[in-house]
Amino acid sequence: MLTFATPFLWMFGSAFKTQGDIFAHAYPLTWETILPARPTLDNFASVIFGRGIGRNFLNNLIVAAAQVVLTLTVCAMAAYAFARLRFPGRDALFGLVLFAALIPFEATMIPLFQVMGILDLRSTYFALFLPWIANPLGIFLLRQAFLEVPRDYEEAAIIEGASRLQIFWNIVLPMSRPALITLVLLTFLWSWNSYLWPLIVMQDSSKQVIQVAIASFSAPEQLPSWGDIFAASALATVPVLTIFLLLQRYYVRGVAMSGLK
């Protein structure tokens, strides 16, 4: 447990240190390595008021919200089709979906950038989330979950005359809640911490995201502003960690919400 927490605590502790104190006590190991001897809020003031990362936070929220909602919608629909509907070529198509997950992004970044140019999206928020909402791993995860839903409920509902959409909405989705929440968390995390793609594609600095802003705290040939970097990084982790810990409460054990009334 300490192994997991120590580096993280170090980051948080350093956020409250002055530039000179950050590495001065990195070793030998004392309590000052982690905890600030002279705590200061200057770094936080500097990143919020001086560097205006509030704006970047807002951008992240906009992008993450759009990405989570759309990813969930698009992936759940596709996953249901693959899990429960029968049509010719289904497995081959699903194989194709999985294939998309295997692309090393660094290799297709330039082609993707060219595609965004053709679509003329290079200075919009759309550029930041649109490419990732048809998430092959998301489709895979939800398909696995939908397959776990006992078929009896659905068959009963079909006999009752429910439509596919009703079954999907009233039975399959509620019974797969843990997987849906997992996907929300994963998508939020990926969106929140993305760096390389926003850096390359976004040409409007006012729409830039937090991780790129943090990288900009280093001007050439001056020392990186470590205090600001750690303060901003600490701030950046708070929303993700909060959502991680909060949302899991809504993992509800296999409650059978059936459409059988």
Q: Please list every residue from 112 through 151 that binds another protein, using CB under 8 A.
A: 112-117, 119, 122, 130-137, 139-141, 144-145, 147-148
Which residues in 18-47 contact another protein (CB under 8 A)? 19-20, 22-24, 26-29, 33
**Minimal distance, residue 124 CB to another protein, in Å:** 14
The smaller minimum CB distance to another protein, of residues 57 and 192, is found at 192
Whole-number Å distance between alpha carbons of 13 and 1: 18
Measured between alpha carbons, how far is 59 from 82 in angstroms, rounded to an integer? 34
Name which position in 39, 105, 169, 257 contacts another protein (CB under 8 A): 105
Q: Is residue 203 a contact residue for another protein (CB under 8 A)?
A: yes
Q: From residue 147 to residue 186, what is the string marking binding to another protein with x (rule CB under 8 A)? A: xx--------------xxx----------x-xx-xx--xx
Query: Least distance to another protein from the beta carbon of 41, Å?
Result: 18
Site for another protein in 56-75 (CB under 8 A): 73-75
Q: Helices in 119-260 by DSSP H: which ranges?
A: 126-129, 136-148, 151-160, 164-167, 173-175, 177-192, 196-201, 210-215, 226-247
Write down the least CB distance from residue 146 to another protein, Å.
10
Q: Which residues, 6 or more positions from 171, have their beta carbon under 8 angstroms from its beta carbon? A: 149, 153, 154, 157, 257, 258, 259
Q: Sign of torsion, CA 207 212 215 221?
A: negative
Compute how many residues bind another protein; rule: CB under 8 A. 123
Q: Which is nearer to another protein, 58 or 98 (CB)?
A: 98
Q: Distance between CA 176 and CA 78 in Å, rounded? A: 15
Percent helix, strand and coil across the chain, each to the nearest 5: 70, 0, 30
Per CB under 8 A, contacts with another protein among 82-101 are 85-87, 93, 96-101
Q: 116 to each of 127, 186, 219, how far by Cα in Å? A: 7, 24, 29
Among 48, 174, 240, 258, binds another protein (CB under 8 A): 240
Q: Which two tokens stand for residue 95?
A: 């194989």
Smaller CB separation from another protein, 58 or 165: 165
